[in-house]
Every structure is written in structure tokens, then in C-alpha cells.
Chains A and B, each alone.
Chain A
């Protein structure tokens, strides 16, 4: 008879090694737990894999990307601005990771499956939510009320900011709370001019501030200050921007209590109906395609919003026939993303004897001003702008006329200052935006895929229109010329702020997770990535995911110590 060795039981299993998985690994190992991190993709070796300093001269298509190859393998990922000729290797192959949508309702699911996940390519913008956001649902009677308020998460914002290192400028605005900032990055000449013109016109209603970003402007916790090479999404050998590879995973590793297993595609969770607990994880080895199981006392789902929900949907049991921990029926519902694509650009005259030195990996930011003190007739909630003013480079010559020696000489010098504002608008939770399992299809590892039903609704479209108009108005106020308003169609998903589908809430009947990101139905199961969000705010969500993860880890370990878990 074959003897089967009893598999090791880990104190905690974390599914995913990206933004939230990295934080969970750091927090739980530092608190003494033996942790297994399961990552679906390959390992990342910064020395080998980071490509931020590879000059464009060495790229085969000189930055124009391998069009034919990406059309074949990455038709969806290639629509993301960061999936460029250098960094496309950090994005999944769509051919291996299919999903389906309604034919006329595209959703761009942008994904990174590797150690570090999307924290390698993220845009690093880091903003706190305020009670304007946390109270929005209950104030308007939309969706479910958040079970937490700013006061609950504030100490955790402080905590994650102190570790990650966030550059920014305090402004004292109620709708965008200040953080524990490293010194701000400098604005460019034209940005300063626009900021001053806006202050004259709008006072404190519309404030332009420098972007708040998870990039070090000075040495911090053993990581070096930014050297301003520019393209952070291709990696950072000096670890100057925050990612799990650059910051949290090395700390977890140092505790000696971390086991990180790449090539571990999670199929589903194992639920014991007697103990009412999850006992382990079913995994398909990414390379051998062999099925295996891992046991753990608690499980943290940190696989990204839609992947974590997919795992729960694929973990249905006779009792939870529509998905594990789904007694509320809310699992999969209320998918959100920020609507983008509305804004304007224009030329700011002057300052032609001045330049910006260094490539600033950060922009400027105009915090939400709609429905803050005003009450808009045409839409609920609001949007914020990200933007920048830079002198145009040689690329402007592509759209100009002229040729020859004088043309060449003119392109040697930088062009005029061009200011761009692009808005990011809040998306309302709507149960008609939802995901389910497509029973007809599996991915390259045999795991059933998602069918995503999502579209922008009237409120988001109204925000998009307003963000175009107001951006043009702000540029006009600043004396810009050649102002071009734009309003591009951008499918949901492409902003890569997808969230919701396993929302937090006080009531187990209307939410999947409680105020500690713990499943109402399964007490040793936690989910701390974007799936937990009950509304979307208009600010970039990653800092909030980090804070919620650290907070949930603190709660989980305290409950374990009390014998409650």
C-alpha cells in the first residue's frame, strides 16, 4: 500500500504576490506566521528582468512594439499604455488567459501574472480616500454602505505610507486627506504657471498639486532615491518605486518564514462543511499542469479583484452553490472601474529658455471639485485630473510640415510647453455590472474562465463629458493656446482600477466581506484586493488596498492569538 505523507499545514496561505499579496506576506511573516505565497506566474529576478535602462536603440522595433506578435498573443493587453515593447513581458498572454464578454460590451482585463503581479507596472499614484468617499453610498442610497470610515483606515494609511514612501505635497483639502509625505517632486515651469492661474481663478475650489506617488525622493527604509530615468513600469533596479518585489517581499523573505511558490495557478479553495472553514487550496502547476493541494489555517485572497472573485466562484460547494462565501448572492456583482479618456491639452506660451531636467515619473493632480461643496445637476460624485506640462520632443516633427537642415535643427531643441489634463471619474456600483463563470471555456490550465458583463452607465458618461469641458476651461484660464478638448472612448477595465464583486459591508445578507475583509460566511477566509470595494471613489485605489490589507492582517493575527481563528 502506498503511504501518503501528511502535507505540511501552513499558518497562512496567500494567493497572489502583487500589491496586496506582498503586503499580506510582509505583515503575516513579521507577526510570526509561517506563510505560503502562491503566485500563478513566473519568478522575477530584478537583475535579469528589469529593463528600464535598455535604450530604445536596442529595441528591435524602436519602441513601436512587435505589432504582429502582440496582435496574435496579447490583443487585449497591448491596448494598455504600459504594455510597450520593453514591458509587454510583464503582461499576460491573452491566448492563455481567455475570458468572455457580451459581444457589444468590451471589457479590457489587464493582467500581470508574475511574482510582483501588476505592482511591477503600476502607475504608482497614491491617494487617500476621505469620508466623502466612504459615506457616498449611504448618503445617496446606492449600493451598500461601507462598514468603515476614514477614522478606521487612517492609522493604516499612515502605516503603509511610512513603509512604502509616498512623495507628495500637503494641501489641507478635506476631500483628499494629506499623508505622511516624502518631499514633493518639483513642478515644471508651465505647470507652476497653470497652478497659479487656477489659484487666481478658482481659489481653493480647484487646486493643482504635484502627484502623490509611491516613489522615493530620498533614501527610505534602505531603498535608494529615484534617479529619474523615467519608465518605472519596466522595473527599477534601485528599488526606488514601491512594488512587492522591490519592497514588501524582501522583508517577508528576511523573516525566514516565507515560502514563495511561483507557477502555482489556483483552481479553487477547499471548504470543510463540518468545520465551516477553508482548509486548503487546489493548485495546477503552471509548468507541469499537475494538480496538487496545499493546506493552511487561514487563507488570504490577494489575486487581483477579478481573479479572487473567479476563484471563489470556482470554489462552489453543494451548500454554496453559486460560489464560496456567497450566502448574500453578492459575489460577482457591482464591478467598477474609473472612467477615463476625457480631458484636454493645450500649449502654454512662454518659458522657451527653460527646461525640466530629469524625467519625472509622476504628474500633477487636481483633486475632485465636483459635488464636494457644490451640488451638480447632471451627475453624482466626481472626478480628479492627472496631468503634466512638458516641452514637446522630436516626436512633434511627425505631425509638422518641413524637412531638411532647418527642420532637423528645430527638432534638436525641445518644442513648446504642452499641458494635458486627463480625468478619472468615479463609477457607481451597479449590480448589472457583474461577472460569472463561463461554463463553456477554460484557460490554459483548465480553470473555468470569467464572463464579464460591464458597461459605462449614464452617470459615468456625464462625468466623462464634464471632465472634457472643465479641462478645456482650466487651460483657457491659464492662457493656453491651441486647446484641444478630447473625449475618447475607453472601455471599462482599461483604467486598471477594476474593483468590486466581493464587497465589504456590515450586513452579511448584502455583502461578502465584513469590516475586516473577512468573509461573513467563512471566518478563516480573507480577501483584501480590489474585489472588496463597496464603491470606487475617483482616486487611484492601490494605497487603499495596501492599508486594508495591513489592517486585515493585524485583525487576523489578533484573532488567531485569541483562539478565535
Chain B
């Protein structure tokens, strides 16, 4: 939508009243994204920096590329924009704000500006909180078909980072070396020795 078209719609009271807040917010987000020439539609530049940094702490570049190179942040932005519910999106964005608050309280600056060691400490704190909340939910739910992001922030972040990374071309082809067509079945064979990447 052209900016002036969006503004025209916003100016017309009758149209404005039928626009859901969701649609309105999406329109604004699209506008902002278009203005910046960025592909991101939900994450702001500042939020995106946190996502990029945090996903890289979780899946860093080692002998293979990490979450940043795999553009996990773009996948997360897509899921937040087109897949998640408003409630799930809110939890995620609030979680990013919390990451900043936690880092500020401990180190006096935001998460994206923190050192690698500081970022790891914050992620460690989130991870421990999640482990505790999971233990409270025992017994573990098995085989629930309905995929949901109505979860604590870090559980969302963990799922989306892992899915985003391992289903990316880097994750599938370089990290996991997935073969689409194995061509044979062997039920029980020695694992191949690990190859240097």
C-alpha cells in the first residue's frame, strides 16, 4: 500500500472504524518497513538486533555457520507476522524487552550492545527459568499435534531459533547434511565417523 493511500484510509473515519487494530498495526508496520527498505515486517530495527544476537548465542558460528548467517531473524519475523496470533506475538516482543531490561539491570546497557559473555549470561538465565517452568509441568506432553507459540518467551525463542536454523539451507545442507533421496534402507548400520567440515 502506498503511504499516501494508507494515510487517506486513516483519515477517513468510516473506514478507520472498520479496520481492526491488527490490520491497522500491520499497515503501519508495512509502512515503516517499506520506508526503511527492510524486509522485516514485525520486528523493529532494535528488536531485530536482539533477535539476531540472541539466536547467534544459541546457535553460534563454529566450524559451520550459525543462526545469524542462516537468517533465523527473518524466519522469526515471518512467523511473528503471518503465523503467530496477536497474543503470541505480544509475548515474544515483551520477551525481547525483558531481555533488554535484564541486561540493563546487570550490565548497564541493552542486550544487543552487550559483550558475548554478558549475552551468554542472560541467555543462561532465560534457559534456567524455562527448565524450572518445564519441570513444573510434568508429566511432559507427548505427541501433541497442535503446534502453538502460546508459550513463555524463551520457549518461543528456542523453538523458532532451532526450527529457523535447522530448516534453513545452511542447517539442512551444511550442518545436518540431509540427503533428500537416500536411495536405500539399512536398518542398523555403523554411524559414519564424523567428518571435518
Interface residues of A (CB under 8 A from B): 53, 55-57, 59-68, 79, 81, 185-189, 191-192, 226-229, 345, 351, 353-360, 394-395, 397-399, 401-405, 407-409, 411-414, 484, 486, 488
Contact = CB atoms under 8 A, between A and B. Distances in A.
A187 B181 contact: no
A403 B127 contact: yes
Interface residues of B, number: 55
A386 to B, nearest CB: 13
A191 B187 contact: yes
Given A64-B79, A66-B82, 13 more contacts: A55-B178, A57-B172, A61-B83, A65-B147, A68-B82, A192-B188, A227-B181, A345-B142, A354-B188, A354-B191, A355-B190, A356-B188, A394-B162
* Best-buried of B128, B185, B194 by chain A (most CB within 10 Å): B185
Contacts of B182: 227-229, 357-359
B46 interface: no
Nearest to B166: A394
Contacts of A360: 185, 187
B168 interface: yes
Interface in B150-196: 158-159, 162-164, 166-169, 171-173, 175-176, 178, 180-191, 194
A542 B62 CA distance: 50
Given A56-B167, A398-B162, A351 B147 contact: no
B83 A68 contact: yes
A401 B130 contact: yes
Contacts of B191: 353-355, 413-414
A219 to B, nearest CB: 14
Contacts of A60: 78
A53 B142 contact: no
B4 interface: no
Contacts of A354: 188-191
Contacts of B175: 408, 412
A408 B70 CA distance: 14
Contacts of A188: 187-188
B186 A357 contact: yes
B58 interface: yes
A353 B190 contact: yes
24 contacts: A55-B180, A56-B172, A57-B167, A59-B167, A62-B75, A62-B163, A64-B83, A65-B147, A66-B83, A68-B82, A186-B185, A186-B187, A189-B187, A228-B184, A345-B143, A355-B189, A355-B190, A356-B187, A356-B188, A397-B158, A398-B163, A401-B131, A404-B58, A488-B142
Contacts of A401: 127-128, 130-131
A404 B139 contact: no
B53 to A, nearest CB: 13
* Best-buried of B134, B182, B190 by chain A (most CB within 10 Å): B182
Interface string B82-101: 11000000000000000000
Contact of B185 (A66, A192, A228, A402): A228
